[in-house]
Structure 1
């Protein structure tokens, strides 16, 4: 994607450019002012008009890098983390470029410490400002105006599962276009239209940013030429599965068809370095975690003994299904009665009456999971991944839920994307919902996503938000 020119930017983008021009220039002027007050860096007296010229030059360089990195593209679809990453790169490049030309600015070059302070202030203020603009959609950067091609069963998932405002923070649904072959039991409450004109003309006239293809019947039914024309005019064309995945953080298992899996990126990691270093990273993290948590585990073992008798077992071993469907024994602190499964394997529920008195606490704060550090060190599990299920349940789930076996393409984990996004589940329906998140994790897994999951899991543990 080429960098946009200023004249090609939208009115909202132009406003943003002018405001952030002031932010960048103000950051350097404020740094010079702070230095004149606190004198933390030696600087020869510089004429005020020269300082203003430096500030404008600094701002110009920062703005050029911002333009190059797409920060003023009205079609930029990034989360606040993505925007901050771009700002960080922008400020780093701007600082580097200004540092190179600074010695050639005459007899009054700016100290590099002032440039560093100006860059830091720019990053701080820009990050806060962009977070605010994204939150309130002040410049129209946040919401896309989408047109859904289809008004049947596949399209209805948007109406049924993404009906709240919080579900539509990133987009506004303009309308659902009725297509031949759509099931009648589809869109009920939202706007349905029947196009009598060109799709391209309609999309351009109504300032559509994105077309979501969600028709029920696709063979010889899609206006391919029209979609192609929309695409080359800058209108994004997205398949319903990819749209749901992007907006909800899950893969819609009930809508998957084989060709989507074949052509879709992800699912099998081609990063051989990551795969090679995976065990080293997890084992090292497990060893560090063990150093910090062994006193907690020792106290937990003593409390279990005191609560349930000295002859009662502290640990609970249970067979689970791991990578490539291979079984392994998971180890946990026992949080249920010894006879909890006298009638056979059962799903654990949120307020399970088989849980011991101390077990409720252990499960709420995830303390019962700590012995699984041993499983991580053995290589049976990683820190992040789909939670392993019992073979008795997996056999049924693989039969009843399509693509359930795909979750065994990666190592199971102590915590996972599904555990963060979905409440505690104890039914086959819950397993289906959690699979949607597990498949999303498998498809998008990366070091940054793993770090995000670990940080949010720490929040759950610290504030007792667990089951």
Structure 2
């Protein structure tokens, strides 16, 4: 089942439901409410404003659903949770429409406001949820009849892993786990599962297996109380766009940390890849794109001036392109204004340092004010970077950092940024040791990431730019 096709189906029916509810509401206003005000029938006219609303109102509803994260995980929806989510989003949207478009309607009594509000709400909520219920029920039906599922890998080969496999494979209403095999933690582990599932290797083979089998979900068959082992496993696999499940121990159950909505299955603890709530993640992306497009326009004269200065002071291209490692370890090409002489790394990868002779005169100013970074707004628009996030590094230096700090790869869970908490607090790093010292700041950001924190980091970055204290 193609995910993009299913998302388009949800988008189409949400748009259709919003359009139909708006048409019916328009007819109710013209045929029921306004005649009471004027004391006579009002001719029904489909004006240009009606057609404009017919396009813009549903589009605004789609934007609201997108920001709420509704389209993020369409194959793991609960009909009951979907009911509540549709109710709340419909209520919020109708309140906005009421105070922006309906409050100045012609009415004969204040009670008409209540009629208008509840009519629009009931029309929109009922039509939207009916179409969503049909779509979601269809997907759940396919999952429960084992006609659709998620490629799942089991990590562990002990008795606990065997028990989990049997319970998930024999449950009356499948949760969608389609096992493709299992991994052992160490090479010398006993393979209790080998008579039931293919043995695919050890934890070190995870990346290759994830790509080969297009993994969607992973179940870690060890208890969460085994903290050191669990940390090692998560460090290896959490940098992929994969849903991770674990087995809760007694403490998780008693403390309430173990939460699941799978009733017919073993209690599994979802170790989510989503750092931000869905609505904040969508809002962060919307802010990234909007701000970057605005910056492109505002900085256009600056681009031209910098380009002229670079060409006057040094031979070579204006922009410097380099491969960096982005979210989930995926390489991408980063763009910067060139601040060094052309072919500055003839002897291999080398970090810049204070009073580096390779830096051209205008390069010192660009680095101090961080203006060399502004071409990366293009990377942000493409979705490779964010305004705020850990700075992306080259694979060469990542390999060196991981030898000293294996948990560095946790930063790949999110998009890298033009600026970061580590950069604001510590500045640019001119050695691997300095990169390791800067790492705690980025890990703290990863733990506390929020839209509010992003704005604080952006403000401090602007202050640093005006002071020109970069390097």
Give me the TM-score of the superposition, normalised by structure 1.
Answer: 0.43
Give me the TM-score of the superposition, normalised by structure 2.
Answer: 0.42
